[in-house]
Structure 1
């Protein structure tokens, strides 16, 4: 007996739900009622609310810090409560063009059937990460898309509600108002769709392929057919007329494909202005997830298999190193020095996580960390100095003195040594800027210094500007040196 509980809209495996909630509760120290809010959603949320959950939206609605909400869903995946999906989302129509369960399968070149357009995605753009309840815990109708109504399939399964028109209305809601008929047609079957056509144009669309037609609706139409045959072949759509007049018309849609199709007819307005690019509600981007330490710690098998890597348009990298570490090893011995250096790593990791970053790797005594914003990176760099000060307070002398470099730019996310890493000139410059720093000094490049909020953060600190020649960089770069505050 599975112990299934059937409600009006839910079928829940109570035993698995309880076991996995207990595991989630024990995973870390959560803020009050965080797990209980998720449990309420799992038990009583509508199917739509448990499909492709946006953790940033969840955080806003439940008054939870974004970082904790992201951690919550990641740990919930580890516990078996949710499955994680990487989505490629069309920027013009908010259609989920492709969905992948693992980062390994993600690719960056995609084609939207609805917009007939090709795109190149970056981890910052068009790639978003969502979470769907595990069917082992609670079954929802979206686990079986072939059983969905045509309406649910198009507007709830395929489209995301996060793509907004300039007036703030979701494009999916606008598109619903354009639909004149929407139907699922089995292989070898046909459907008769009666449309009351208005002036403008009619769009016929197979929502899973490039098969579509656009037929003008004009009073000057030479023929006014009452029935229009349409043949759907794999990837193509054959329409027998060039235009039609306003009024009632029946489209006879024949599906010669080997699979069912979801086909719709939409009334397009007379205006031919190009539809504006959508803006999207805040969501968990692939970039932010890669800069979440919990993801890196618990999803080590998630790697990038694309040989060219995946672009990151804007990342801020922090490199740190210890000044005089060789002398430390000589003075207190290898084992003691190793233990102390590991303590220093843990302190820097804790600081990085507090400022929404992730440690990418350690190299000897050095740390490389990645942040979504320069402001977070600079705050972290300053707090790293304070964390090292705390380590030194318990020692007879200052064994730990940090040299820090911070640079911002584009990069490529890759897999190196079976771990997610960053590659490119931005990484090279960040490392070389760190080499310029003296002990107790933070060196910022111009891109970081001019980034939003950074000027306010560093206002209390002495700053000197200089020009530096960096190996592999054709032109001198401006470097801003932050010294420690004297008071």
Structure 2
């Protein structure tokens, strides 16, 4: 008997059989993205199993090491995960700021915090266990956005349609991007550090190249909207974090 089979046999001693059978099937057959940020209420509705039975099974599975639980502070506007926490004890800030929405929110369990479950790597290794290896679209799907948003299957295509330029920048590296700014409001956003820089692009076409530098650090620093004119831009990027960053210019 494998370790997973042993653990699920133990789970059956404390949880409803329907819920355990469902979880065991998911761990065995479900795609990777379905095994991260599992919302217990959504799962119960989808599978037609009682909410209390599913919640109890997941909590007992956490106790056995089959799943891991996370308390996610999410933005009520964009549904992005602002902070992922292993326990309530680390929810120690009265207010959280979403760089993507340029808005701050008071921390309330009812409106801002979701509890989700991810399969443990001891039972099954999935792509979300190694976020640095995820393609950008899957990083947004599996790491950045919360379970509160129903993402389309063609997310990668939709992101390409709104992305002017993007780069996967390793830790400690620098890069320079040359691009042309269209008129409108643009955002340079990195989902890994939740860093955002808004660009207000308007006026006559720039005759000379414009310049912008961004340094990504582990500490968020609120940034004011910068004014630019349509035309050429030299964007210098530097990654001073201990992981890769995924900056993109969205239109």
Give the TM-score taking structure 2 as reference length: 0.82
Distance 1:233 1:19, change over 3 A: closer
Post-superposition Cα deviations, 1:351-371, rounded to whole Å, max 9, x if no partner, equal xxxxxxxxxxxxxxxxxxxxx
* Paired residue secondary structure (2:117): strand
* Equivalence for 1:22: 9
Report the Cα distance in structure 2 between the residues aligned to 1:102 and 1:126, rounded to whole angstroms. Answer: 15
Q: How far apart are 1:192 and its partner, in Å?
A: 4.2
Q: Secondary structure at the match of 1:52?
A: coil
Structure 1 residue 161 displacement after superposition = 4.7
> What corresponds to 2:73 in structure 1?
88
Q: How does 1:208-223 map to 2 (within 5 A)?
A: 208-209=192-193, 211-218=195-202, 220-223=204-207
Q: Distance in 2 between the 1:258 and 1:75 partners? A: 36
Matched, 1:254 2:237: yes
Conserved? CA contact 1:113–1:208, under 8 Å = no
* 1:48 shift after superposition: 0.6
Q: 3-state SS of the aligned residue for 2:105?
A: strand
Contiguous gaps of at least 5 residues in structure 2: none
Gaps of 5+ in 1: 1-13, 268-487
Q: Matches of 1:242 and 1:105 in 2, distance apart?
A: 38
Moved more, 210-219 or 129-138: 210-219
* CA distance in 1 between partners of 2:145 and 2:67 (Å): 20
Does 2:123 correspond to 1:149? no
Q: How many residues align?
A: 244
Contact 2:82 2:97 in 1 (8 A): yes
Distance 1:57 1:26 in 2: 24
- The SS at the match of 1:94 is coil
1:196, distance to aligned residue in structure 2 (A): 5.9
Aligned-pair CA distance for 1:183: 2.3
- What residue in structure 1 maps to residue 107 of structure 2? 121
Report 1 or 2 for greater relative contact order, CA contacts < 8 Å, sequence distance ≥ 6: 2
Q: Aligned equivalents of 2:5 and 2:172: distance in 1?
A: 46
Partner residue of 2:42 out of 53, 57, 61: 57
| Change beyond 3 A, Cα 1:209–1:117 | farther
Q: What is the distance in 2 between the residues matched to 1:258 and 1:141?
A: 21
Aligned to 1:98: 83
TM-score, normalised to structure 1's length? 0.45
CA RMSD of aligned residues (A): 3.2
